Structure 1
Amino acid sequence: MGQNASQSDYQHSWKSREMLIAVFAVGMISLHLYLRFGAAVSAQWQNVPLLAVLLFGGVPLTWELLRRLFHREFGSDLLAGISIVVSVLLGEYLAGALVVLMLSGGEALENFAVSSASSVLHALSQRMPSVAHRKTGASIDDVALEEIAIGDQVVVYPHEACPVDGTVTEGHGVMDESYLTGEPYMMSKTPGAAVLSGAVNGQSALVIRADKLAIDSRFSKIMEVMERSEEQKPRMRRLADQLGAWYTPLAILIGVGAWAASGDPVRFLAVMVVATPCPLLIAIPVAIIGSISLAARRAIIVRDPAALETAETCRTIIFDKTGTLTYGEPRLVGEFVRDESQRLQILAYASSLEKYSKHPLADAVVRYAADARVHQYDVVEVDERPGHGLTGMIDGHKVELTSRKRMQANNAESLEHLPPQASGLECVVLLDNQYAATYQFRDTPRADGASFVRHLEPRHQIKRTMLVSGDRESESRYLADQVGIHNVYASQTPEQKLEIVREETQTANTIFVGDGINDAPALMAATVGVAFGQHSDVTTEAADVVVLDSSLQKIDEFLHISRRMRSIALQSALGGMALSVVGMAIASAGYLPPVAGAVCQEVIDVIAVLNAMRVAIPPKSLIDFDPHSTASGVG
C-alpha cells in the first residue's frame, strides 16, 4: 500500500502543478502580447515570457508525457508534446506556448471538476475506534485497540462502533450490522449474542468478551479485501485515449508527409500545432464537467469522471439487496390471528405495548397500527427482560410479545394455532397467556423495483441483471422473484462478492449498486461502482458515483446523463477532429503557418466547446420507465 499511497500523492501533486502551469501560461502569453503590440521593445525581450512558459510549463509537461510513454500509457496528448519540442527547435515560441496552455488547461479543467476528498482506506480506518474500553473488575480503562487480547471484557458505549468481534456478556440492546452483513435490521443483542467489529451500537451500553484479536476481526478482513481490490482494479481506457489511438498516428503521418514533400520542417510544426487534439483535451472535459454539474443538481455525485464515459458501455448490472432494491427496514407483511374478529383489538394492544420497546421490529408494528388507525391504550407494568420478550398490562389484560421458540416452550397447548414458519422475521402475541396472533416481517421491495429492472435491457442494453447479497437465501430469493431477477447469489461475504464482480467484469463491463461497507470491495472492482444513499463514508469513498437520494429513478437518471454526455462528447470530439484534419491538410500545403495554425485550432476549440456545453442544459426528462407501473414494459 505504500507504493499506492506514493503514486496517489504524486498524482495529486501533478494535478496541482497543471493548474499552476495553465494560470502561468495565460499570464505570460498576455505579457508577450503586450510587449509585442503595446510596448516598444525588441523581439528578444518579447520572447522572454514565452521562453518562461516553455521552460517552467513546457518542460514539466513534456517530462510527464515521457514518463507516461515509459509506462506505456500512450495518449492523445502525445501530439501536444511533439508540438512543444518542435516549436522550441524551430524557434516558434508563441505556437509552443499556446500548446502548453491548451494541454495544461484541458487537464486542469477536468481536475478542477472532480477532486477526491480522501482515499477509501483512510475512510475505512477512520470508522474504527483506535482505543477500546477494557473492563477489569470494577474499573474501565481506555487502551490501544492492539492491546485487546482474546477473553478481555470490553465495554461498548451507546452509538460507538464495536472494536472487535466478540460475544455479549452484560446488557441488552440493539446493533446496526446492515452495512457489514447485508441483514437489513437492527439486531437484538443480549448475553450470549455474537457481535461484529464495526457494528454500531444502539442506545444501551454493552459489555462483550473479545473472541478475536483486532487484526483478525471481520472489519479488518474487509479492509484487507479493500486493499487488494484497490491494487487490482484495472485502468479503463478513457474516451480521449480511444479516439487518440487512431488520430495521433494520422496527424503524425500527415505532418511527416508534408515535411518530406516540401523539405520544410516548419510545415511539420504547423501540422502538429493544428493537430493538437484540443477537442479531446478540452471539449471532452467540458462535456464531463457539464454532466457532473447536471448530475449534482439531481442529487447524484460523480466522483470519477471515467464513470460517465463508461456507464453507457456496461452490459451487466449487479445489485446488493438491502437498501438498494429494498427499503432497508422491516415492514409488517403478514398478520395471522387466532380469532379474526379480534384482529384490530390485538393489533391495538400489540402496538400500544411496542411503543415501550427498543426491539428492531417494534417500529414496524407501530407504523402498521398507525396506518390501520387503531385505538391506542395506556400500558402499565411494562417488562422487557433479555430473551423473554415484552410484557405489559393493558385494559386489565396481560399482553406479551415474544418469539415462536419461547412460546412453544411455555404454551404447548397453543401450537396447533401457529401458522407455518415463514422466511423473514416474526413475533408472536399472547393475550392472557394464550396465543392470539403472529406478525411476520420482511424488508420489502421498493415499489418501483420491478418496473426499473424490466426496463434495463430494452432501454439501456443491460443483458445480465444479478442480485448478490449477504442476506439469507430465502430473503434474497423472495426479493428476486418480486423484482424479476433470475441470477441470485445469497449469503455472500465481501470476499465472495468481490470475486463474483471480478469474474463478471472480465466478461463485460459492469455496474455494481450497493450501500454497505460489505459492498465497498465490489464497488471498487466493478467498471462503475454506484453507492446508494449516504449510509457509510467508506462506501461513498469506494464508489465512482454516489446517489444521495434512495431512489432507483436516480440510477436511471445517471444512466441517461452518461449516455447523453458520451453522445455530445463524441459529437464535439469527432467534429473538432474532422475540422482539424482539414486544417492539417491546409497547413501541409504551406498555407497555414504555426501561429496561424494555433489560432485556427483555438477557433475549432471554441466550436467544439460550445457544442460540449449543451450537455449542462437539462432535458425535459431523464427517466424512461414508469415507477408506478405493474405491467410489463416501460413507460
Structure 2
Amino acid sequence: MQFADRMNPVMNKNADPPKLLTEGRIQIAIAALAIVSIVMHLVLRFGYDSGGDVQNWPLYVAILLGGVPLVWGLLGNLFRGEFGSDLLAGMSIVTAAVLGEYLAGTLVVLMLSGGEALEAYAVQSASSVLDALSKRMPSRAHRKVDSEIEDIPLDQITIGDEIVLFPHEVCPIDGEVVEGHTVMDESYLTGEPYLMSKTPGTAVLSGAINGESAITIRAEKLAIDSRYAQIMKVMEVSSQTRPRIRRLGDQLGAFYTPVALIVAAGAWFASGDPVRFLAVLVVATPCPLLIAIPVAIIGSISLAAKRAIVIRDPAILERMDGCRTVIFDKTGTLTYGKPELTGQFVASQHDQNDLLSLVASVERYSKHPLAEAIVMAAKKSELPMKVASEIRERPGLGLVATVGAREVRITNRKTLLDETQGDAPELPPTTAGLECVVMVDGAYAATYQFRDQPRSDGASFIGHLGPQHNINRVMLLSGDRESEVRYLADKVGVTDILADQSPEQKLEIVRQETKRADTIFVGDGINDAPALMAATVGIAFGQNSDVTTEAADAVILDSSLAKVDELLHISRRMRRIALQSAVGGMAISIIAMFFAAAGYLPPVAGAITQEFIDVVAVVNALRVAIRPKSLTDF
C-alpha cells in the first residue's frame, strides 16, 4: 500500500486519475493515427502512381477510427447545450467526409484530438503532485525495541514508539528527540532555508530530512495524523477544487460557431440549395482556432524553454495576462534563500576581525547555513583560517572547539542567559532575523546577526507590476515571523503582508484572493505546493522539490525575478499574436462565408480559400517562437 493511500484512503474516489489517463491516451492515439494517415496519403499521392482511390485509403481509416469517436463525443456536448469551436470542428469533419475533402477532415481530426490530449494532460497533473508526495515519504520506519531495531510499516507505529532515524533519511513521523543530536532540513514546511539543530527534547516534523547523525525519536502522533499527512490532505483537497480554465479557443468559438451555423442555414433557406450549407461550413472550418492558437502556444512554450522557463500547463499562457493579483512567498522568491552575516556586536575585549577568524575556523566544519555565512564573511575579509581541534556539539550547548589555546563555543541567546542567570550586559537587544552567540574561554565574546537578503531587483520588479502588467494588488504571504516579513516588505515595497501562516492558511488565503480576481502565486518550497495549485497561475522557483515543480504551472529554473517578468511578457505576446491569428482568420472566414452563401464560392473553392486563410493564420502564429529584442521592462 502506498503512503498516499495510507494517509488518505478516500483520496482517489473523486479525482479518478486512471480515467483521465485513459482519455488522454486515447486522444494521443487518435492524433498519432491522423499524422500517420496524412503522411501515408502524401506518399501515395506524390511518391507513387497508385491510381484510383488508393491514396485516400489512409484518410478513410483516420476519419473512421479517429473522426467518428470524436464526432460522437461532440454530439454529447451538443445535447448538453455546450457550443464551442470543437463542435463546429466535428461538423466540419462530417462535412469534409460528405464532400470528399478527406485530407481536410483528417487535419481537423488531428487538431481536435491534439487539443483534447493537451487538456487531459493539464487536468492529470494534479494527481502527479500526490504521487510525488507519496514517493518522497518512506514506506517503513526503524522501530527500536530493547536495543533491537526492526523495520515496520508506517501504519504500525503507535504513540510512544521509539523510532531510529538514520543519516539523510526522511523523518516518517512527528515526535521528540530522545537520543542523539543532528541538524535537519525542515524547509519543506517552514520555508526557512536553514538547517535546524536537533538535540534531546527538541521536536521533529515528519518530512524533514536528517543530517549526518543518527537520532532516536519518540513518536507523538500516528503517521496518519502527522504534519506531512496533513499537507497531503490539503493538496488532495486543493486538486479537487481547483477551477477549470476556459480556453481562449472556447471563448472565441462560442461566438464563431453560432455565426457560422446561422449563415449556413440562412444560405440554405434563401437559396433552397443544400450545397450552399455545405459550402459555408467548409469555409467556416475553424482552423484558425484549432491550429493557429495551439501553434502560438507551442511556440511560446519553446521560447520559454530557451529562456530556462518550463511551462507545465499551457493554459496559463492564455490566462496570465488577465491576472490582477500577485502573491509571493518570502524565502527564495523575493530573497536569495541564503543567509548572510549582517551584524557583528563584539565585546570590548575582542578585535572584530580576530574573533571572526577564530569563529570561522570552527564553523567551517559545520554544515549549518549560518556557519557557511560566517565562513563566507571571513573569506570576503581575507581573514586567515586557523587549525581547530576537539570539535564537538554537545546536546543543547552548541558547537564547541579548541583553536590554539582557546575554547570557542557557538551557541544561542537563551543558553547564554540561562547560564549567566540573565546577566549578560554586553548582549545587544533582540532584533528580527537570526543570530548566534559566541563565547571564548567561557566568557561572552560576540553576537552575530544574519538575514536572508532581499533580491537586488526586488523593489524595481514589484514597482513595475502595476504600470506595466496591470497588477492591482501585490501580497507577501509567509510562514516566517512578522518582523522578518515586514523587514523584507519594506525593502521591496510591498504593503500587504500576511505572516506566520501555515500551508493550510496559505491555501485558504489564495483561494479567497482567487475568488476576487485571477491570481499568480510565486513560491519555492513544498509548503507552497497547495497554494501553487489553488492560484490561477502557480510559478515555482528552481527544482528544489519534485512536489513543488509538479504542483506549479510553470517552473523558473534560473530562480530570478527577471524570468518571471519574461514569462509575463511571453504570455502577453502569445495572447496578442494568437488573437491576431484567430480573430483575423475568423474575420476573413466570415467574409468568405457570405461569398459562399451567395453562391460565389462552391465547396471545393471554399476549401481552397479556407486553406489559404489557415496558412496565413498559422504563419502569423509562428512569429511567437521568434525571440523579440527584449522580454523584460524593469
Q: Same fold (TM over 0.5)?
A: yes
Counterpart position of 2:175:
166
CA drift of 1:49 comes to 5.1
Counterpart position of 1:400:
409
CA drift of 1:412 comes to 5.2
Aligned equivalents of 1:492 and 1:316: distance in 2? 19
Contact preservation (8 Å) 1:107, 1:281: no
CA RMSD of aligned residues (A): 2.3
Question: Following superposition of structure 1 onto structure 2, how do residues 206-285 of structure 1 map, counting pairs within 5 Å?
Answer: 206-285=215-294
Aligned equivalents of 1:144 and 1:283: distance in 2? 53
Question: 1:447 aligned to 451, 456, 459, which one?
Answer: 456
In structure 2, do the counterparts of structure 1 residues 406 and 50 end up closer, same or farther at CA, with 3 Å as the change threshold? Answer: closer
Contact preservation (8 Å) 1:32, 1:50: no
Q: For residues 182-204 of structure 1, what are the alpha-carbon distances to aligned partners after superposition, in whole Å with 9 as ceiling and x for unaligned? A: 22311111111111111111111
Q: For residues 328-354 of structure 1, what are the alpha-carbon distances to aligned partners after superposition, in whole Å with 9 as ceiling and x for unaligned? A: 222211111122871111111111111
In structure 2, do the counterparts of structure 1 residues 580 and 54 end up closer, same or farther at CA, with 3 Å as the change threshold? Answer: same
Indicate the SS of the match to 1:488: strand
Question: Following superposition of structure 1 onto structure 2, how do residues 448-527 of structure 1 map, counting pairs within 5 Å?
Answer: 448-527=457-536
Contact preservation (8 Å) 2:96, 2:104: no
Counterpart position of 1:63:
72
Indicate the SS of the match to 2:138: coil
Contact preservation (8 Å) 2:338, 2:369: no
Question: 1:594 aligned to 586, 597, 603, which one?
Answer: 603
Aligned equivalents of 2:74 and 2:390: distance in 1? 77
CA drift of 1:106 comes to 5.4
Question: 2:341 aligned to 316, 332, 348, which one?
Answer: 332
Aligned equivalents of 1:491 and 1:160: distance in 2? 28
In structure 2, do the counterparts of structure 1 residues 524 and 475 end up closer, same or farther at CA, with 3 Å as the change threshold? Answer: same
Contact preservation (8 Å) 1:429, 1:438: yes
Question: 1:148 aligned to 129, 142, 157, which one?
Answer: 157
Would you say 1:93 and 2:100 are equivalent positions? yes
Counterpart position of 2:31:
19
Contact preservation (8 Å) 1:149, 1:210: yes
Question: Following superposition of structure 1 onto structure 2, how do residues 64-143 of structure 1 map, counting pairs within 5 Å?
Answer: 64-69=73-78, 73-88=82-97, 91-94=98-101, 97-105=103-111, 107-108=113-114, 111=117, 119-143=128-152
Aligned equivalents of 2:452 and 2:43: distance in 1? 66
Q: Structure 1: any 5+ residue segments left out of the alignment?
A: 626-635
TM-score computed with the length of structure 1 as normaliser: 0.93
Aligned equivalents of 1:256 and 1:417: distance in 2? 90
Q: Structure 2: any 5+ residue segments left out of the alignment?
A: 1-11
CA drift of 1:430 comes to 1.7
Indicate the SS of the match to 1:119: helix
Contact preservation (8 Å) 2:67, 2:109: no
In structure 2, do the counterparts of structure 1 residues 155 and 267 end up closer, same or farther at CA, with 3 Å as the change threshold? Answer: same
Contact preservation (8 Å) 2:59, 2:106: no
In structure 2, do the counterparts of structure 1 residues 48 and 433 end up closer, same or farther at CA, with 3 Å as the change threshold? Answer: closer
Aligned equivalents of 2:291 and 2:418: distance in 1? 73
Contact preservation (8 Å) 2:193, 2:331: yes
Aligned equivalents of 1:469 and 1:165: distance in 2? 22
Counterpart position of 2:588:
579
In structure 2, do the counterparts of structure 1 residues 50 and 308 end up closer, same or farther at CA, with 3 Å as the change threshold? Answer: closer
CA drift of 1:133 comes to 1.3
Contact preservation (8 Å) 1:99, 1:276: no
In structure 2, do the counterparts of structure 1 residues 191 and 391 end up closer, same or farther at CA, with 3 Å as the change threshold? Answer: same
Contact preservation (8 Å) 1:114, 1:305: no
Contact preservation (8 Å) 1:77, 1:103: no
CA drift of 1:102 comes to 2.2
Would you say 1:562 and 2:571 are equivalent positions? yes
Indicate the SS of the match to 1:485: coil
1:93 counterpart letter in structure 2: G
Contact preservation (8 Å) 1:414, 1:434: no
Contact preservation (8 Å) 1:47, 1:93: no
Return structure 1 stretches of 4+ with deviation > 6 angstroms. Answer: none
The number of aligned residues is 619
1:108 counterpart letter in structure 2: G
Q: For residues 199-232 of structure 1, what are the alpha-carbon distances to aligned partners after superposition, in whole Å with 9 as ceiling and x for unaligned? A: 1111111211111111111111111111111111
Aligned equivalents of 1:28 and 1:343: distance in 2? 79
CA drift of 1:86 comes to 4.2
In structure 2, do the counterparts of structure 1 residues 186 and 304 end up closer, same or farther at CA, with 3 Å as the change threshold? Answer: same
TM-score computed with the length of structure 2 as normaliser: 0.93
Identity %: 59
Counterpart position of 2:63:
54
1:26 counterpart letter in structure 2: I
2:382 counterpart letter in structure 1: R
Aligned equivalents of 1:542 and 1:285: distance in 2? 23
Range with greater deviation from structure 2 (70-79 or 190-199): 70-79
CA drift of 1:562 comes to 0.6
